[in-house]
Amino acid sequence: MSAERCLNWGCGEHVAPGWINSDIKQTPDVDLVADIRIGLPLPSDDLDYAVSIHSLPELPYSDLVPVLEELRRVLKPGGVLRLGLPDLDRAIDAYRGGDVDYFLVGPEEAETAGGRFVAQMLWYGYSRSVFTLDFAEELLEKAGFERIRPCAFGETASRFPRIVELDNREGESFFIEASKPPAEGSGDRSGSGGLEILDVAQDPGDRVEGHFRVLGTEGPQLEIVGWVLGTESAATEVEIVAAGEVAGRAPIVLERPDVAELFPDSSEAESAGFRIELAAQGSGKSELEVRVRLEDESRERLGRVLVNAGHRSLLDTLRRR
């Protein structure tokens, strides 16, 4: 087995030896059962490369960039993500040209070219998003990837020959690769005001479950978004603590249907989300503690964020959304 750490995300039944096979559904051969929208239970900067074949279409549009950001988080700086996606342009050309043999959907499902086209792109209702090459490039750029390149079936522009092992569905797919920037620490994007995210650590206390993500924004700002549930007492607020002082708070009120799916017995799961925007002032490094206020007035940690501001330093202003 190779010493390379590689992820097969959204593997379904297509598990591969030597890979970390991950899927939301639990089966005997899946190594890592997780809903990526909530977060993969992997440390930042952990993987050499990750591959996903026809899994991204099952997500709604609003989840596409956050999911790609989560895949970027778990990659090492310079690590590579390879995607295989159903090619909408190719399917449109087949439909317009009357090439019904192009479609995997047969006449027993739909007799017309249009019917087969629609059934295949929706894949019997499993697919919620469709893709063109330029749209995939745009999503990867928004998620903080660089060196975004289309690749042929079975060919890679990366330094990892094994990354093409999972390629399939050649006739209906395009393939694209992108790299995580070779930055210090977690490699998360910096805001345009010189704000650099050096490290993000998920460290929930014993009485909470949750996950958060740090996003760069325009200007000397960053956003922390995520979800949290109390296991004994309901979680009410998220606090950001800098230099021992509470720099700001945000209520835990945002809708998170994905968390509700994962915790169907929790009455708080439907609105377990939070979002905090932080603005910078000063210069230098700052360590931020992300902690949770519970209904019983106790506090539990959720994690920490280490940032460095070349021109300004965190943390002074917090705005709620």
CATH number attached to the domain at 6-87+131-179: 3.40.50.150
Q: What is the pLDDT of residues 159-174, one digit of tens each?
A: 899 999 999 999 999 9
Looking at domain 195-320, its CATH superfamily turns out to be: Immunoglobulins (2.60.40.10)
Q: What is the pLDDT of residue 225?
A: 86
Q: What is the pLDDT of residues 311-320, one digit of tens each?
A: 433 443 333 3
Q: What is the pLDDT of residues 109-165, one digit of tens each?
A: 888 889 989 998 988 878 999 999 999 999 999 999 999 999 999 999 898 999 999
Q: What is the pLDDT of residue 196?
A: 72
Of 301, 102, 300, 286, give the one whose Cα is nearest residue 198: 286
pTM of the model: 0.65
Q: Does pLDDT of 285 surpass 70? A: yes
Describe the strand order of the beta sheet including 273-279 as a list of residue ranges. Answer: 208-216, 221-230, 273-279, 317-320
Q: What is the pLDDT of residues 65-103, one digit of tens each?
A: 999 999 999 999 999 999 999 999 999 999 999 888 889
Q: Where are the domains of the chain?
A: 6-87+131-179, 195-320
Q: What is the pLDDT of residue 247?
A: 77
Q: What is the pLDDT of residue 202?
A: 86
Q: Does pLDDT of 193 surpass 70? A: no
With a pLDDT cut of 90, the percent of the chain lying above it is 54
- The residue among 258 and 136 whose pLDDT is bigger is 136
User: What mean pLDDT is predicted for residues 282-287?
Assistant: 71
Supply the mean pLDDT for the chain: 85
Q: What is the pLDDT of residue 220?
A: 56
